[in-house]
């Protein structure tokens, strides 16, 4: 199976913008209530994670992917995920912080919020507009073990990439 990733995060957190950037598309993100499949990425509506009634849709869609991106907007003071949400999805987890270049971004807060969601895994700090950190995401999705991911993060030694473990 080709590695695929599902992106989950809140409404207006930057999921579709991240997907378009990763795929090299210039199009703007459109508001949708449906899953969007494009090449190796599955983009989910923000409502799926903000409303517990949709959690089963996230669980079902996770069966189609190898990795899950938990996306946290650096400008948001709250997480849309319940604590340890990643425990319910047995896939390789990647945290992505978006909008790190926004004037009101709080990257430390966003990192802490993601650490509360994920049990372990890499966290990538990104700006889709300035293309910061973006270059790490696709290579991470090609990796199949936590050990390989840890080594990847260690070898890169980048301010936009870290590994968290609880």
Rounded to the nearest integer, the mean pLDDT of the chain is 90
Question: What is the pLDDT at residue 119?
Answer: 87
Q: Give the separation between CA 111 and CA 127, rounded to whole angstroms.
A: 15
CA-CA-CA-CA torsion for 134, 72, 94, 115, nearest 10 degrees? 130
Residue 164, classed as helix, strand or coil, is: strand
Tokens in use for 19?
A: 């997907």
Residue 32, pLDDT score: 63
DSSP annotation of 135 reads G
The tens digit of pLDDT for each residue in 116-132 reads: 999 899 999 999 989 99
**10-33: burial string, b at 16+ Cβ within 10 Å, e else:** beebbbbbbbbbbeeeeeebeeee
Residue 28 pLDDT exceeds 70: no
Q: Nearest 5°: phi and psi at 75?
A: -95, -5
- What is the predicted pLDDT for the residue at 50? 86
Distance spanning both ends of the chain, measured CA to CA: 29
- The rounded distance, in Å, linking the Cα atoms of 159 and 125 is 8
Residue 108 pLDDT greater than 80, yes or no: yes
- 162/124 Cα distance (integer angstroms): 7
pLDDT over threshold 60, residue 35? yes
Percentage with pLDDT > 90 across the chain: 63
Structure-token match 């190898």, residue found? 66
Q: How confident is the model at residue 157 (pLDDT cuts 50, 70, 90)?
A: very high
Instruction: Determine whether domain 5-165 maps to CATH 3.40.47.10.
Output: no
pTM as predicted: 0.92
What pLDDT shows up at residue 54? Answer: 86
Q: What percent of the chain has pLDDT over 70?
A: 95
Give the CA distances from residue 2 to residues 31, 39, 130, in Å, rounded to whole numbers and listed in that order: 27, 10, 28
Split at pLDDT 50, 70, 90, the class of 34 is confident
The SS3 assignment for 1 reads coil
Give the C-alpha distances (Å, rounded to integers) separating 166 from 111, 119, 120.
13, 6, 6
Q: Report residue 49's pLDDT band, with 50, 70 and 90 as the boundaries.
A: confident
Domain ranges of the chain: 5-165
Q: Is the pLDDT of residue 1 over 60?
A: no
């Amino acid at each position: 199976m080709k590695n695929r990733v599902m992106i989950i995060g809140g409404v207006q957190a930057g999921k579709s913008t991240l997907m378009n950037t990763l795929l090299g598309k210039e199009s703007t993100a459109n508001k949708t209530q449906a899953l969007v499949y494009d090449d190796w990425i599955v983009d989910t509506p923000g409502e799926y994670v903000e409303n517990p009634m949709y959690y089963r849709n996230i669980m079902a869609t996770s069966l189609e992917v190898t990795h899950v991106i938990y996306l946290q907007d650096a400008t948001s003071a709250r997480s849309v995920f319940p604590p340890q949400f990643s425990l319910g999805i047995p896939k390789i987890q990647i945290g992505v912080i978006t909008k790190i270049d926004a004037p009101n971004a709080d990257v430390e807060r966003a990192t802490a919020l993601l650490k509360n969601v994920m049990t372990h895994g890499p966290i990538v700090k990104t700006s889709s507009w300035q293309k910061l950190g973006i270059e790490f995401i696709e290579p991470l999705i090609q990796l199949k073990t936590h050990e390989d991911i840890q080594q990847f993060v260690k070898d890169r030694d980048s301010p936009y990439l870290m590994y968290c473990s609880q």
